[in-house]
């Protein structure tokens, strides 16, 4: 029986509670800052084992939630690092089918770590949005972040909610106060604050410059606020953790993994990258 | 004395085609705003500004002055008598956009958008280009207004449009090669969007065709609609009637919608767009998004796209860089579904043949893009009786393509 056919039995509030909510509730109780690494599916290697090894290594090294990128031929909001990762994955024919296989394999060994798929609309439209949402929910996905999907698309939202999937909304420095309030009010899972106008992997974040906006957003939002773009290492993560519920780190990690020759090395590189960031975040909290 | 040839499908007779897009930027199921959050507010501001300027008599008067004195409008409709005779069918008239300053219809749009940019206080202009005509037209207006200009162009296109690359540099623009993906127009558009999202405070993005997120498909159409407005008035004035059929090439679709728009509610005028069929639709090496694609989302709007079953945009092929694009303006997608316009493929070989035919019979070197429209005009003329009229948009001149043509024919210059 699909998740979809079960959903009418869930009351609205319960239907919206999933692994993402549980994880952020745990983080809040523990007073910890969430750590959200992003990797592109099928990169640095296409086989399920390598992808699984990386995801597990990230979790073991302290990731609280993982974002898995769905490769797309025209990633117009991404900088060179994630563009190249997408190109490498597509060259190995990694598409949505493989993405879902990776999620299923991950979920078989990890029932608790929330997983968000991130990508662009066209592959999902072509596969069929409702069918894809069914498959994603059944595979164990918890949220979708669709860069170029209209964030106020009620039909899309209803369709995801029916399957207990969160639509992760983005707020940018250019987002005006009125729209920010509207996005915050409708938010599910967590809000993703984009730290600068630009593509992924651009300049280093200026934590001081975003603080006022992030604080304002946290006041408005019924869900936690994660900050991404321009976070590259322990130092920038710690600076942002000062005002955010969670930090997202993508391009720098993707670049770091690119040189892996096999699954074991990819896993080792992932752990090596994430561990010091975890330590820095926890040290900040202890201080 | 109307011709008996009618549109293939006469559905949608009740639709007012001039009522689109709606307030959300939609043409029926197509168009809209599919972009990253960072661009939502800037697009909103652009829409508000543009809608205000569209109703501002001072803005429109200045635009009209520039189109007349700087671009050289109106462009004539020219009866290609020897071409028509050789084809042996209806009269073929050419709307001479090739005579515009810089050599194509693209300048109609860049003059307009640059005026909007100036009014918004932007100091830097960016553009994407395929054939280089839009890049040249952007560099031209930037030079005239004293704005900085950066043009993104795929490496493949830089190689096949070398003359236009040099023209842009002469005009003071920086040309940035794009090496991602297929290294053509779509990749240049991605890169320009990335620049815009990064520098949105001081930068105005002049999109070169009726694609992109709302308001671009509407705004670019409005600036090019002067082509059809003029042509319709010229038809009535010089021939006392409307044409039986009109045709234009379709890359992103700006010269085509520019010609078509004034005629959309003239139900007896048959409308046909010519897409690049490359080496033939069956070969898979083509850029015929409407004829062979499916509805999807690309570059900020919902439209017909060429992609595989996994939703990955596929590489396209056309001899003409300006048609080598896997999407198409959303208004064309709408017109196709409504049955108001038909979209057909013209191969590289057919375009080359039409290029030579026009050169030999009329002394006009057409742009390779426009040669696709000429090939379609020839087909339509053959279907129509001798007293019929086909109006073809000659969107640009062929100087930029001389090297490509020579290379194809095995000649080194
Ligand atoms: C002369 C000419 N015609 C047509 C096109 C295709 O663009 P559109 O379909 O937007 O008119 C181009 C594009 O570069 C061009 O240079």
pLDDT value for A12: 45
Percent of chain B with pLDDT over 70: 97
Interacting residues of A221 by C-beta distance below 8 A, sequence separation 6+ = A184, A187, A191
Mutation for testing the B interface, residue in A93, A122, A131 having most B CBs under 10 Å: A122
Chain B residue with CA closest to A93: the answer is B310
For the beta carbon of residue B345, count every other beta carbon within 10 angstroms: 20
pLDDT at B81 over 70: yes
pLDDT at B8 over 70: no
pLDDT tens, residue by residue, A143-168: 999 999 999 999 999 999 999 999 99
CA angle B64, B19, B296 (to 5 degrees): 105
**b/e map B159-194, b = 16+ CB within 10 Å:** ebbeebbebbeebebebbbbebbbbbbbbbbbbbbb
Per-residue pLDDT, averaged over A1-14, amounts to 38
Interacting residues of B87 by C-beta distance below 8 A, sequence separation 6+ = B378, B381, B382
Give contacts of B 1-20 with A, CB under 8 A.
none
Percent of chain A with pLDDT over 90: 90
Q: Which of B301, B303, B49, B43 shows the shortest CA–CA distance to B196?
A: B43
**Residue B133 and residue B102 in contact, taking contact as beta carbons nearer than 8 Å:** yes
**Residue B122 and residue B203 in contact, taking contact as beta carbons nearer than 8 Å:** yes
pLDDT value for A17: 72
pLDDT value for A284: 79
* Residue A285: band (very low, low, confident or very high) from pLDDT cuts 50, 70, 90: confident
Place of tokens 């900050």: A227
How far is the centre of ligand 1, averaged over its atoms, from the C-alpha of B252 (Å)? 7
Distance (Å) from the alpha carbon of A274 to chain B's nearest alpha carbon: 27
pLDDT value for B84: 98
* Residue B13: band (very low, low, confident or very high) from pLDDT cuts 50, 70, 90: low
* Residue B222: band (very low, low, confident or very high) from pLDDT cuts 50, 70, 90: very high
pLDDT tens, residue by residue, A235-259: 999 999 999 999 999 999 999 999 9
Per-residue pLDDT, averaged over B91-105, amounts to 98
pLDDT at A6 over 80: no
B130 lines ligand 1 (CB under 6 A): yes
How far is the centre of ligand 1, averaged over its atoms, from the C-alpha of B131 (Å)? 7
pLDDT value for A91: 96
Q: Does the bond joining A232 to the residue before it have cis omega, within 30 degrees of 0?
A: no
Q: Which of A147, A40, A142, A57 shows the shortest CA–CA distance to A98?
A: A40
Distances from the Cα of A110 to the Cα of A19, A43, A52, A107, angstroms: 11, 20, 11, 5
pLDDT at B125 over 80: yes
How far is the centre of ligand 1, averaged over its atoms, from the C-alpha of B321 (Å)? 9
Query: Looking at the partner chain, which of B32, B193, B194 has a beta carbon nearest the beta carbon of A150?
Result: B32
Per-residue pLDDT, averaged over B147-169, amounts to 95
Residue B189 and residue A229: Cα distance in Å, rounded? 22
The full set of domain ranges for chain A reads 31-281
pLDDT tens, residue by residue, B37-54: 999 999 999 999 999 999
Residue B279 and residue B316: Cα distance in Å, rounded? 11
Q: Whose CA is nearest to atom 4 of ligand 1?
A: B369
Interacting residues of B120 by C-beta distance below 8 A, sequence separation 6+ = B45, B46, B49, B204
Q: Dihedrals φ, ψ of B145, to 5°?
A: -100, 0
Q: Which of B277, B269, B262, B254 shows the shortest CA–CA distance to B396?
A: B254
Q: CB-based burial of residue B54 (10 Å sphere; 0-12 exposed, 13-18 middle, 19+ buried)?
A: middle
Distances from the Cα of A91 to the Cα of A46, A125, A153, angstroms: 10, 21, 32
* Residue B413: band (very low, low, confident or very high) from pLDDT cuts 50, 70, 90: confident
How confident is the prediction for chain B on average, in pLDDT?
A: 95
pLDDT at B127 over 90: yes
Q: CB-based burial of residue B15 (10 Å sphere; 0-12 exposed, 13-18 middle, 19+ buried)?
A: middle
pLDDT value for B14: 82
**Residue A6 and residue A14 in contact, taking contact as beta carbons nearer than 8 Å:** no
Residue A27 and residue A22: Cα distance in Å, rounded? 9
Distances from the Cα of A26 to the Cα of A58, A105, A111, B118, angstroms: 18, 25, 15, 52
Report the Cα A103 to chain-centroid distance in Å.
13
Distance (Å) from the alpha carbon of A286 to chain B's nearest alpha carbon: 35
Q: Residue B393 forms beta bridges with which residues?
A: B95
Residue A40 and residue A260: Cα distance in Å, rounded? 14
pLDDT at A176 over 50: yes
Interacting residues of A178 by C-beta distance below 8 A, sequence separation 6+ = none
pLDDT at A7 over 60: no
pLDDT value for B176: 98
Distance (Å) from the alpha carbon of A169 to chain B's nearest alpha carbon: 9
Per-residue pLDDT, averaged over A40-57, amounts to 97
Query: Looking at the partner chain, which of B41, B181, B197 has a beta carbon nearest the beta carbon of A199?
Result: B197
Residue B402 and residue A226: Cα distance in Å, rounded? 54
B164: left (phi over 0), alpha (psi -120 to 50) or beta: alpha
Question: What secondary structure, in 3-state letters, does B42-90 show?
Answer: HHHHHHHHHHHHHCCHHHHHHHHHHHHHHHCCCCCEEECHHHHHHHCCC
The reply to whether residue A95 touches residue B180, judged by beta carbons under 8 angstroms, is no
Cα torsion angle, B251, B205, B47, B233, sign: negative
Question: Which of the residues A67, A110, A142, A245 is marked catalytic?
Answer: A67
pLDDT value for B321: 92
Q: Dihedrals φ, ψ of A21, to 5°?
A: -65, -45
Question: Which of the residues A64, A78, A134, A142 is marked catalytic?
Answer: A78
pLDDT value for A16: 52
Q: Which pair of tokens denotes residue B222?
A: 């409005």
Distance (Å) from the alpha carbon of B312 to chain A's nearest alpha carbon: 5
Chain A residue with CA closest to B314: the answer is A73
Q: pTM of this prediction?
A: 0.95
Q: Which CATH superfamily is domain A31-281 in?
A: Aldolase class I (3.20.20.70)
Q: Which pair of tokens denotes residue B146?
A: 């004293």
Report the Cα A57 to chain-centroid distance in Å.
16
How far is the centre of ligand 1, averaged over its atoms, from the C-alpha of B322 (Å)? 5
Is B6 among the residues known to form the active site? Answer: no
Place of tokens 């990797």: A39
Contacts of A171 in chain B (CB under 8 A): 37
**Residue B273 and residue B344 in contact, taking contact as beta carbons nearer than 8 Å:** yes
Helices of type H across chain A: 3-6, 12-15, 19-30, 48-60, 80-91, 96-109, 121-127, 129-139, 154-161, 177-185, 207-220, 234-241, 251-257, 263-286
Interacting residues of A48 by C-beta distance below 8 A, sequence separation 6+ = A98, A101, A102, A105
Eight-state DSSP code of residue A145: E
Per-residue pLDDT, averaged over A73-86, amounts to 96
Residue B9 and residue B345: Cα distance in Å, rounded? 18
Place of tokens 């999109």: B207
Is B3 among the residues known to form the active site? Answer: no
pLDDT at B363 over 70: yes
Q: Which of B369, B113, B198 shows the shortest CA–CA distance to A200?
A: B198
Per-residue pLDDT, averaged over B235-252, amounts to 98
Query: Looking at the partner chain, which of B33, B38, B312 has a beta carbon nearest the beta carbon of A197?
Result: B38
Percent of chain B with pLDDT over 90: 94
pLDDT value for A287: 67
Residue B21 and residue B5: Cα distance in Å, rounded? 29
Residue B77 and residue B107: Cα distance in Å, rounded? 18
Contacts of B40 in chain A (CB under 8 A): 172, 174-175, 179
Closest-lying ligand 1 atom to the alpha carbon of residue B133: 16
Does the structure's ipTM exceed the value 0.85? yes
Cα torsion angle, B182, B188, B192, B198, sign: positive
pLDDT tens, residue by residue, B187-216: 999 999 999 999 999 999 999 999 999 999
Query: Looking at the partner chain, which of A76, A120, A176 has a beta carbon nearest the beta carbon of B41?
Result: A176
pLDDT value for B182: 86
Residue B359 and residue B361: Cα distance in Å, rounded? 6
Eight-state DSSP code of residue B200: T
Q: Is B396 helix (H, G, I), strand (E, B) or coil?
A: strand
Percent of chain A with pLDDT over 70: 94
């Amino acid at each position: 029986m699909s998740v979809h056919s079960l959903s009418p039995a869930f009351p609205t509030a319960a239907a919206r509670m999933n692994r993402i909510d549980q994880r952020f509730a745990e983080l809040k109780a523990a007073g910890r800052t969430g750590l959200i690494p992003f990797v592109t599916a099928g990169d640095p290697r296409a086989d399920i084992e390598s992808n699984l090894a990386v995801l597990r290594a990230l979790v073991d090294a302290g990731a609280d939630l993982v974002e898995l990128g769905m490769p797309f031929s025209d990633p117009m909001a991404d900088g060179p690092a994630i563009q190249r990762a997408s190109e490498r994955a597509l060259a190995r024919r990694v598409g949505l089918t493989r993405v879902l296989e990776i999620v299923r394999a991950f979920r078989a060994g990890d029932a608790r770590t929330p997983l968000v798929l991130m990508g662009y609309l066209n592959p999902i439209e072509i596969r069929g949005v409702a069918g894809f949402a069914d498959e994603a929910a059944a595979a164990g996905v918890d949220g979708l972040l669709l860069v170029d999907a209209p964030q106020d698309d009620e039909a899309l939202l209803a369709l995801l909610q029916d399957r207990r999937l969160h639509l992760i909304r983005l707020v940018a420095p250019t987002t005006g106060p009125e729209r920010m309030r509207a996005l915050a009010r409708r938010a599910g899972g967590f809000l993703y604050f984009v730290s600068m106008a630009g593509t992924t992997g651009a300049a280093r974040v200026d934590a001081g410059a975003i603080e006022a906006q992030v604080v304002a957003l946290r006041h408005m939002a019924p869900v936690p606020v994660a900050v991404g773009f321009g976070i590259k290492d322990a130092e920038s993560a710690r600076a942002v953790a000062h005002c955010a519920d969670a930090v997202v780190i993508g391009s720098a990690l993707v670049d770091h993994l690119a040189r892996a020759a096999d699954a074991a090395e990819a896993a080792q590189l992932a752990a090596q990258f994430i561990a010091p960031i975890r330590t820095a975040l926890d040290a900040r909290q202890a201080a | 004395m109307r011709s008996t040839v009618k549109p293939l499908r006469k559905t949608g007779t009740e639709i007012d085609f001039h009522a689109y897009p709606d307030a959300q930027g939609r043409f029926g199921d197509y168009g809209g705003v599919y972009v990253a959050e960072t661009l939502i507010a800037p697009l909103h501001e652009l829409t508000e500004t543009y809608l205000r300027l569209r109703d501002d008599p001072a803005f429109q008067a200045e635009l009209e002055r520039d189109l007349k004195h700087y671009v050289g409008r109106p462009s004539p409709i020219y009866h290609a008598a020897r071409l028509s005779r050789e084809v042996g069918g209806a009269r073929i008239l050419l709307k001479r956009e090739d005579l515009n300053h810089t050599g194509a219809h693209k300048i109609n749009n860049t003059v307009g958008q640059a005026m909007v940019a100036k009014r918004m206080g932007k100091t830097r202009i960016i553009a994407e280009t395929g054939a280089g005509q839009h890049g040249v037209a952007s560099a031209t207006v930037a030079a005239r207004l004293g704005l900085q200009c950066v043009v993104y162009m795929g490496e493949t296109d830089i190689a096949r449009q070398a003359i236009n690359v040099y023209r842009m540099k002469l005009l003071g623009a920086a040309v940035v090669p794009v090496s991602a993906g297929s290294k053509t127009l779509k990749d240049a558009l991605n890169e320009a969007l990335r620049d815009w999202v990064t520098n949105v405070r001081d930068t105005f993005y002049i999109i070169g065709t009726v694609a992109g997120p709302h308001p671009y498909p509407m705004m670019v159409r409005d600036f090019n609609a002067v082509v059809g407005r003029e042509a319709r008035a010229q038809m009535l004035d010089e021939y006392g009637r409307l044409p039986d059929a009109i045709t234009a090439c379709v890359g992103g679709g700006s010269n085509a919608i520019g010609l078509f728009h004034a005629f959309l509610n003239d139900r007896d005028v048959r409308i046909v767009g010519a897409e690049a069929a490359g080496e033939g639709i069956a070969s898979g090496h083509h850029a015929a998004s409407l004829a062979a694609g499916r509805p999807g989302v690309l570059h900020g709007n919902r439209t017909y796209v060429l992609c595989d079953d996994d939703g990955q945009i596929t590489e396209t092929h056309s001899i003409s860089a300006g048609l080598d694009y896997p999407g198409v303006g959303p208004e064309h997608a709408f017109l196709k579904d409504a049955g108001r316009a038909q979209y057909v493929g013209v191969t590289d070989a057919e375009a080359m043949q039409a290029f030579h035919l026009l050169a030999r019979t009329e002394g006009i070197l057409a742009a390779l893009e426009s040669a696709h429209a000429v090939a379609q005009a020839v087909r339509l003329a053959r279907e129509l009786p001798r007293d019929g009229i086909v109006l073809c948009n000659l969107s640009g001149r062929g100087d930029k393509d001389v090297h490509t043509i020579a290379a194809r024919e095995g000649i080194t210059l």
